[in-house]
Amino acid sequence: MFRLVLARLAPRLAAVVTKTTKTKRAAAAAAAAAAAAGSTAVVAAWCSGETETPPPGSSGSSGSSGSSGSSPSAETVVVGIDLGTTNSCVAVWRGGKVEVIPNEAGGRTTPSVVAFTDSERLVGAEAVAQAPRNPANTVYDAKRLIGRAYTDAVIQDDLATWSFAVKAGRDGVPLICVDYLGKPREFTAQEISAMVLARMKEIAEAYLGHEVVRAVVTVPAYFNDAQRKATADAGTIAGLTVERIINEPTAAALAYGLDAATPAGDAENHVLVFDLGGGTFDVTLLTIDNGLFEVKATAGNTHLGGEDFDNKLVDFLASEFERKYSRSVRGNAKAMRRLRVAAERAKRTLSSANRAAIEIDSLVDGIDFDTSITRARFEDLCGQLFRECLEPVARVLDDAGVAKSAVRDIVLVGGSTRVPKIQALLSSYFGGKELCKSINPDEAVAYGAAVQGAILAGVRDSKLGDILLVDVTPLSLGLETAGGIMTVLVPRNTPVPTRVEKTFTTHAPRQTSVTINVFEGERALVADNHPLGSFSLSGIAPAPAGAPQIDVRFAVDASGILSVRALDRATSAEETITIDAHSRGALSPDELERMVAEAAQFAAADAAARERVAARNAVERYAFDTKDRLSAAAGADGVGEALVAVDNTLSWLDANSAAEVDEVEAKADELRTVVEPVLRKINENDSGSESNASDE
C-alpha cells in the first residue's frame, strides 16, 4: 500500500475577510446558520482543488424560540462547567444573569480530586480532607493525563510527583491504579474527569431543583484534538450531553465582555486574556466589537500552572528537611502529601505576605519540621517558570500582527495569576500597563461557559441577543505527504467551525489504495508533530501516477474537533473518520458504553454509601441522646440494663462500619425494644412528680 502524496493540483484559495463589523458579523452568522443546518457555506471553484468556509461564528444568535431568561426549564437549561486541574466550577444563566452555583458547603469552586476507600468513593473537599491518610488512592491532576499516551514525556515527568500509581494500558492509554472497595481497580483519566463532572452535575441539580443533562464544558485553548475528544467523552460518561467544548480564555472573555463598555468609534478593541490555572496556561488575543467576540490568535502550554510552582516548593522543602535532619522524606508518600499541602498553603500566603511559616508535626519518624520561606526565595525557585509565561504572550501578538500598544485590556484569569511576580512581569512587558482584575479569576471561565450555554439553549435576553463568538484552531492540522512532509490544510488560528478540502493524487502507477496519516502541529516534518490517526481509502481505479483525483476534506466543528473525509472522484470510493480512537488515547464506542454503565453503578454505590452513613448517624445520635437521658435518671428501674444496650449498640456501630442500611435499622430496632419501655417509665415518673408538686 502506498502513502497518499504528493502532488497538490492547485494552490489554496485565499480567504478574504473584511474588517468591518457588519461584514464579519454577516459572515459569521451565515456560517453559524449553515453549521446549525448540518451544512457548510463554501467558497469554491472546481479547478482550485480546495474549498474553505468563511470565518464562522460558533455561538449563533439567541433565536426566536426557547426558554425565557428568567425561568429556564430542565429540558432547556445548559449549565457551564469549568473542568479545572485543581478546582472545578459550575454556573448557570438564570433570571437575566449568571449565577455561580455553590456546593452544599457554600464553596463556589470544588476540588477536582477523587478518592477511593474500602467503603466509598469521595469527590471534592471530602477527598482532599482524607488525602494525607490515603495518598495512594487519592487521584488529582486528571486533566494532565487526559488525551495523552502513557509514553508522553509530560506524563513520564509527572509520575515522580504523583502519590497514586499510573501504568500503561492497552494501546498506551495511561491507567490510574487504586484500591476501591477492597479490590484493585484501574481507571482512565476520562473516568476520573467524569466523576468530577458528575459531581458538578449533582451540585447544579441540587441548586436548580431539577435534573441537568446539558452542559458547555471548557478546555485549555491549547488542548489538542485528542484532549478535546477525551473531555467530551468524560462528559458523556458523567451523563451529560456536551453541547459545546469552548476554550477557557474565550469563555473568560465572554465574562469580561458581557458588561464591558466598548470604546466609541470603529477601532477594534483588542483584549488579551492571560489564563494561568492550576495545571494549564493559555493566552488569547481577541477583539470585542459590539457583541462580536472574535479570537485573533491563541497560544499556551498545557503543562504549566500553579501545581508546577507547588512542585518547586515541595522539592525545596524536601531538600531542606534532608539538610536539617539527614533523613530523606521523598520515599514516604504520606509525608510528601503533607509537604505538598504545606507548600500550596505557603504559596497562597506569599501572594500577600513576604514570608510564610511552615510547621508540620511529626513529618517522619516523629520529627517536627519547622521552617520558613520568603517571597524572594519562592520567586527565585520559580523564576524560569514565571519567565516562560511571557513566551505565549509574544507569540499571540506576533501571530495576530498586533503591537503591544494596541492591546486595550489585559484580563487575568486563573488562581495562579494572583502571584505578585507574574503580575509584575506581565505589567512590565506591556510598559507598566495596569492589569484588569475586574472579574473573579476562579469563576470567570464557568461564568463565560454559562453565557455560551444560555445562547445555545435559545434563551431570549437583550444581554445575549448581540453576542457572537468566533473561536480558532490552536494548532495547524494536516496530513503526511511524500518524504514525511507535513502538508497543512487548516492553519493554526483558523476560525471555527470550518471545512477545507484539497485534491491530491497518487504517487505510483496503478495505485489502488492510499493511507492518510493525520497530524497536528507547526513543524515541517510529521515526525516532529503530534499524530492524530490514520485511515485507508481503497477501491481507487488503477491509473497512471498522478491521474486519480482524491479529495481530502478536513472539517473542524465549533468545539474544535476534527473529522476527515477522503473521496476518489472516479469511483466515488469514500472514507470518513473522526480520528482513530486508540491512537489518540480516547475511547471506542464499546468502551464509552461500558464506562457510562459503570459510572451509573458508581453513582448508585455512592448513593447507597450516603444512605448507610445517614442511617448510622441517625442511630448514633439516638443512642447518645438516649444515653444522656438514661444517665440523668441513674438508679431508676431498668436504667442499668438500658445503658448496657446503648453501649453495645455503639460498639457494634464501631465494629461494623460497612453494615448495610437494613442491618443498621435492625440494630436500632433492638435498641428501641430495650430502652423505650425504660424511657416511658422515666417520663411517667417525671410527670407524676410534677403533678404531686403542683397538688402541694
Just list the catalytic residues.
Answer: 82, 143, 248, 275
Beta pairing, strands 270-276 & 407-413: parallel
| Backbone Cα Rg of the chain | 30
Among 644, 639, 668, smallest CA distance to 656 is for 668
Q: Which residues of 547-568 are buried (b: 16+ CB within 10 A; e: fewer)?
A: ebbbbbbbbbbbbbbbebbbbb
Among 394, 433, 440, smallest CA distance to 414 is for 440
Number of alpha carbons in the 13 Å side-chain half-sphere of residue 409: 21
Burial status of residue 332 (CB atoms within 10 A of its CB: 0-12, 13-18, 19 or more) = middle
Q: Are 506 and 540 in contact (CB under 8 A)?
A: yes
C-alpha cell, 177: 491504579
Q: Are 88 and 109 in contact (CB under 8 A)?
A: yes
H or E element that contains 110: strand 110-111
Please identify which residue in the block is written with the cell numbers 493525563.
Answer: 145
Interatomic CA distance for residues 614 and 695, integer angstroms: 45
Q: Are 56 and 560 in contact (CB under 8 A)?
A: no
Provide the Cα torsion 615, 617, 618, 620; round to 10°. 120
**For residue 497, is the peptide bond before it cis, meaning its omega torsion is within 30 degrees of 0?**
yes
Query: What is the residue-wise DSSP string for 389-437?
Result: TTHHHHHHHHHHT--GGGEEEEEEESGGGG-HHHHHHHHHHTTSPPPB-
Q: Are 295 and 268 in contact (CB under 8 A)?
A: no
Q: 3-class DSSP state for residue 325?
A: helix
CA–CA distances in Å: residue 10 to residues 16, 46, 349, 554 = 18, 10, 60, 17
Q: 3-class DSSP state for residue 105?
A: coil
Strand order in the sheet with 183-187: 165-168, 174-180, 183-187
C-alpha cell, 112: 477536582
Residues facing residue 462 across a β-bridge: none
C-alpha cell, 582: 486508540
Interatomic CA distance for residues 110 and 88, integer angstroms: 5
